[in-house]
Amino acid sequence: MTDNNSLSFEVDVRAPVDRVWQALIDPDLTQRYYFNTRVESNWKPGSPISYRDAQGHSALDGKIVEFAPPGRLVTTFEPKWMRQDQAGPASTVIWEISSNGKVSKLKLTHKDLDMNNPIVNEIRINLTPEDRARLAKNPAIAPEAYENYLKGRFYWNKRSDENLIKAIGYFEQATHQDPYYALAYAGLSDCYAIIGATIFGTMPVDEAAPKARDAARRAGRSRPGHAR
């Protein structure tokens, strides 16, 4: 969902609220779920927060605005992976977690954005209409599979040969972590459909087409959010 200066996304996670909360504040878990970065903060309002890569370089900085475990975390957002003239002014990220029956609802809102700034294309998840329809039904998914699905869509959106190969790897990881995850199979089908096209030519069409059809079949024969 978007408005004039914000992006937001919701998903049901098959884990209790406290476990989802730990995934936001435990560096061992952010390394798994947040693009291989470890979070650092003392979590007091006004204190700094930083996400550091394997080399110890800061990929993202900010300040703690609100810390209310286990349901709400608000920070500023200052990307360091982009040039300073591209990153723009600091924006605000709001994480909200609530119980939704046997699953937890995770809502992420990114506001105070300059929608004309290049950073928006870096953080926006461009889903297909079919993906949006399935996600609107709030499927419960394994957290690890969800993270790999997002990474897969990120690289799929770049459309280059190298990035499509990366996307396939992430989508395959997602299907291994949650064999009933329809969106991951849909992502695989999208990748094989493109990578077997003449414009790319990385994979022969007689090899790519069956893979695309098989993934599409698995995605299509599914209950909302999952595949059989």
171 pLDDT above the threshold of 90: yes
How far apart (Å, rounded) are the C-alpha atoms in residues 77 and 71?
A: 19
Contact 57, 67 (CB under 8 A): no
pLDDT the model gives residue 213: 79
Q: What angle do CA 181, 183, 187 make, to 5 degrees?
A: 125
Q: Which residue has the higher pLDDT, 117 or 34?
A: 34
223 pLDDT above the threshold of 90: no
Q: Report the 10 Å Cβ neighbour count for 84.
A: 9
How far apart (Å, rounded) are the C-alpha atoms in residues 185 and 189?
A: 6
Contact 161, 201 (CB under 8 A): no
In the chain, the percentage of residues whose pLDDT exceeds 70 is: 75
Which pLDDT band, with edges at 50, 70 and 90, does 167 fall under?
very high
Residue 51 structure tokens: 């996400």
Which pLDDT band, with edges at 50, 70 and 90, does 228 fall under?
very low
Residue 128 structure tokens: 């297909």
| Interval 83-96 mean pLDDT | 79
How far apart (Å, rounded) are the C-alpha atoms in residues 19 and 70?
A: 9
| Interval 15-42 mean pLDDT | 89
Express each pLDDT in 97-147 by its tens digit: 999 888 899 998 989 887 676 666 555 555 555 555 555 554 566 778 888
Q: Which sequence spans correspond to the domains of the chain?
A: 1-124, 129-228
pLDDT the model gives residue 137: 54
Q: Which residue has the higher pLDDT, 70 or 197?
A: 70
- Right CATH number for 1-124 from 3.40.50.1100, 3.30.1380.10, 3.30.1950.10, 3.30.530.20? 3.30.530.20
Express each pLDDT in 56-80 by its tens digit: 999 899 999 999 999 999 999 998 8
Q: Which residue has the higher pLDDT, 34 or 103?
A: 103
Computed over every residue of the chain, the mean pLDDT equals 80
pLDDT the model gives residue 142: 74
| Interval 9-24 mean pLDDT | 88
Most confident by average pLDDT, 82-86, 130-134, 186-190, 219-223: 186-190
| Interval 165-188 mean pLDDT | 89
DSSP 8-state assignment for residue 75: E
pLDDT the model gives residue 26: 95
